[in-house]
Structure 1
Amino acid sequence: MARELRVPKALTALPAPIRWLALPVALTCTVVVLVGSWGPADGKIEVPEPSGRAADYCRALAAALPQELLGHARKDPSPASPYVAVWDSSPRTVMRCGVDRPEQLNGEHAKDWSPTVDDLTWWSQKLDDGGYRFVATMRAAYVEVTVPSGAARNPFDPAAALTPLVKANIPG
């Protein structure tokens, strides 16, 4: 016995062409919404506003930054800023220069794992998404590198790769 397909009364009141298009249009809209929401969670990057010598150091660092970091091309946000650099690794690695000193350095997180590369200490903070934030400490300008989960084999690799440039352009 075949079952009879029951169509809601609201749909039977619509003309046939509209009824036929209802499902494809609904599915298309769903796909558009889902694809549109797949962008990076950190779509907006807060641009630091350093002043004085810190701004000069950050501009010098920006001029020295590579166009490729660990095999990932540089794709800075628009409008461009000398204080922000982004390497598109989907998820992307973000470097910001001239950030404020992290408040956590005054509290219990001050003793968190802080790797040192070539005498440059990077204070680290594990983020809620599984990524890490590294901040170069004891420099004339604070440099922050945010590495989301999955952006690098070892989350510290981007900060370690940038160490020589930070040391060369921002005095301690």
Structure 2
Amino acid sequence: MTRELRAPRFLAALPAPVRWLAVPTALVCTIVVLIGSWSTPEKIETPNPAPKAAGYCRALAAALPQELYGHPRADPTPASPFVAAWASSPKVVLRCGVDRPEALNGPAAKDTAPMINDVTWWPQQLGDGGYRYTSTMRKAYVELTVPEGSFANPMDVVAALSPVVAASIPS
């Protein structure tokens, strides 16, 4: 007993060449979409600090933890001593040697900035609900971006990295 293969009703109304190409085309489109979403590179701007600040940033990069609250380091490629990231979802990113934030030249400079483990962090709430913290009163500016949803309390990340910043970059 042979069984005859039949096209689903919605395909049966189409001409034969279209029916033959429908499934392979759908598969190819699905594969392209999946590959495209997996391989989207993350753009993280690498700072270009002055030579003295670069030395402090290299010391900081060597001292940063390989794991942050159970999330392993996941530095972007190409590797740089001025950028570090951890594989939280979404990624927490630390950039060392960034320029002084322009907002610190205006009225925002008077905003309260918490001092944690001898490092003063100037906070900015981002449009997506996350936070960016910039260390102040240090020989090199360090920027820490904690996206919304990466940690329940973004200050936990700041507290975990403050001792390393304090030990690596003098005030």
**What is the TM-score of this pair, normalised by structure 2?**
0.83
Give 1:1-172 correspondences, 5 Å limit: 12=15, 16-23=16-23, 25-26=25-26, 28-30=28-30, 32-33=32-33, 36-37=36-37, 43-172=42-171
Determine the C-alpha separation between the residues in 2 that align with 1:58 and 1:162.
Answer: 14
Aligned AA for 1:147?
A: V
User: Structure 1 pair 28/113, CA: closer, same or farther in 2 (3 Å)?
Assistant: farther
Conserved? CA contact 1:133–1:146, under 8 Å: yes
CA shift, 1:76, in A, is 0.8
Q: CA deviation at 1:120?
A: 1.3
Query: TM-score, normalization: structure 1?
Result: 0.83
Between the two proteins, what is the percent identity of the paired residues?
Answer: 63
- Secondary structure (helix, strand or coil) at the match of 2:122 reads strand
| Farther off after superposition, 142-151 or 28-37 | 28-37
Q: Which runs of 5+ in 1 are unaligned?
A: none
Q: Which amino acid aligns with 1:128?
A: G
**Deviation for aligned residue 1:28:** 4.9
Moved over 6 A (4+): 4-8
Q: Is the 8 A contact 2:12 2:19 kept in 1?
A: no
1:31 Cα offset (Å): 6.3
Partner SS for 1:156: helix
- Cα pair distance change 1:20/1:70, threshold 3 Å: same
CA RMSD of aligned residues (A): 2.5
Using the TM superposition, give the Cα deviation of residue 34 of structure 1 relative to its aligned residue in structure 2, in angstroms. Answer: 6.0
CA distance in 1, matches of 2:11, 2:29: 24
